[in-house]
Amino acid sequence: MSVSVSIENVSKTFGVPGTEFVAIKQADAQIQPGEFVSILGPSGCGKSTLLDMVAGLATPSRGTVSIHGQPVTGPDERMAMVFQQMSLLPWRTIQANVEFGLEVRGVGEAQRRRTAREMIDLVGLNGFEEKYPSQLSGGMNQRVAIARALALDPEILLMDEPFGALDEQTRRIMGIELLRIWDKSGKTIVFVTHSISEAIQLSDRILLMSSRPSTIREIIDVPLARPRSIEDLSSETARDIELRVWKVLLEETGAK
C-alpha cells in the first residue's frame, strides 16, 4: 500500500537571506493511509508550519512533502484543514459557514444543505444553524470549523489544535466523536495538539517535535487497542507513554 503523507528531508526557513529564521531544521515522517497521527511539541516549535506544508499552504525551504507519492504543490481537494485560529466567516450563519467549502467546490444547493445539517448535528450544534459566529462561544465556533472541514469529506484531514478552545469534558467527547468518524470513514488524520493525554487517546502514532530549530525527535507508537476505554487510557502502557513524552518535552523546554 502506498504511503498517504510522506515528509522527506523537510526544513523551513522564514525571512530573507541575511536575517534568516530557522523554524524547522529537519523533519522526516511517513503516514500510512487510514492512520491517525498526532504532532506534539513545545509551543512555537513549528507544528502549524509543518501542517501548512502538508496542506500546500506553505512550501518547504528544502525537501518535499508528497501525497501518495505526488509532491504537494498547492492546496488539494483530497485534504481539508481545521485552523488553529478562529476562521469562520463572521458575515455567514453557522449553516452557511459549514456549507462554504461545498459551495466553493460547486456542490448543488440541496445536497450541501443536507450535508451541512448532518455535520452540524454531528458536532452537536442543532438549533444554532441560523445564528452567527459572534453569537456562539469559542468552543462552539471551533466545532463549526470542524464541521466545515468534515463536510468536504476529505481523504486526509489536517487539524491544527482543533479542540484547543474546548473544555476538558467536551474535548474528550469530541475526541470520541472524531474517532467514530475516523473509524467509519477510514480517513487519514494528522492532528496537532499540545495535550499529551489527547494525543494518547486519539493516535496510532505520536510525532514528537523538539524545540526550535526543530526536528522530529521521536515517533512514538501508541499500542492501545481500539476503541479505547477510560481504563485503557489509564493503563500501565498509557502511563508509560505519557511519562516518556513528558520527559522529552521537559528536556526540550529546558525544565528539569
Partner 1 sequence: MATTGSLLAGHRAFPRNSKRSQKLGQLIFVVGFFLILELLVRSGILNRLIIAEPSRVLLRLWQDLFTQELWTAFLVTFWEVGVALVMSLLVGLVGGGLLYHYSTVRKALQPVLVGFYSAPAILLYPVFMTLLGPNSLMIITMATIMGAVPISVNLAIGFGGIDPILLKLGRSLNLRGPRLMGKILIPAATPVLFAGFRMGLTFALIAVIGLEFLTYSGGLGRLISWRYSIFDSEGVYAAIAIVCCLAMAVNYALGVMERRIVNRF
Q: Which residues bind partner 1 (CB under 8 A)?
A: 55-57, 74-75, 77, 79-81, 83, 85-87, 89, 91-92, 100-101, 103-105
Of 22, 32, 82, whose CA–CA distance to 52 is shortest?
A: 82
C-alpha distances in angstroms, 155 versus 67, 122, 147, 233? 11, 18, 15, 27
Smallest gap from Cβ 88 to partner 1, in A, equals: 9
CA angle 26, 28, 34 (to 5 degrees): 150
What is the rounded CA–CA span in Å between residue 223 and residue 220? 9
Which three cell numbers, joined as nine digits, stand for 67?
501525497
Residue 239 binds: one of Mg ion, partner 1, ligand ATP, none (C-beta under 5 to 8 A by kind): none
Contact status, residue 27 vs residue 216, Cβ threshold 8 Å: yes
| The one among 27, 40, 45, 94 contacting ligand ATP by CB under 6 A | 45
48 binds ligand ATP per the rule CB under 6 A: yes
Instruction: Write the binding mask 135 to 174 for ligand ATP: x where contact by CB under 6 A, - elsewhere.
Output: ----------------------------------------
Residue from 49, 97, 193, 215 binding ligand ATP (CB under 6 A) = 49
Handedness of CA 226, 172, 148, 57 (dihedral sign): negative
Q: Minimal distance in Å, beta carbon 212 to ligand ATP?
A: 6
Backbone φ/ψ region at 229: left (φ over 0), alpha (ψ -120 to 50), beta: beta
* Per-residue DSSP letter, 72: P
Give, as ranges, the residues between 34 and 63 that touch Mg ion (CB under 5 A).
48
Q: CA 195 to CA 207: how far, in whole Å? A: 13
User: Could you tell me which of 115, 173, 179, 124 has the C-alpha nearest to residue 149?
Assistant: 115
Least spacing, CB of residue 151 vs partner 1, in Å:
12
Give 127: exposed, middle or buried? Use CB within 10 Å, 0-12, 13-18, 19+: exposed
Closest CA to 93 of 38, 144, 160: 144
Beta-bridge partner residues of 65: 7
Does 46 engage in binding with ligand ATP (CB under 6 A)? yes
Site membership for ligand ATP, residue 47 (CB under 6 A): yes
| Residue 43 binds to ligand ATP (criterion: CB under 6 A) | yes
Which of ligand ATP, partner 1, Mg ion, none does 75 bind, CB closer than 5 to 8 A by kind? partner 1
**Smaller CB separation from ligand ATP, 47 or 205:** 47
Q: What, of partner 1, Mg ion, ligand ATP, none, does residue 14 touch, CB below 5 to 8 Å by kind?
A: ligand ATP
Among 5, 7, 23, 120, binds ligand ATP (CB under 6 A): 23
Given the complex with partner 1, which of 85 and 126 has the nearer CB atom? 85
Residues that bind Mg ion (CB under 5 A): 48, 84
Residues that bind ligand ATP (CB under 6 A): 14, 21, 23, 41, 43-49, 84, 194, 212
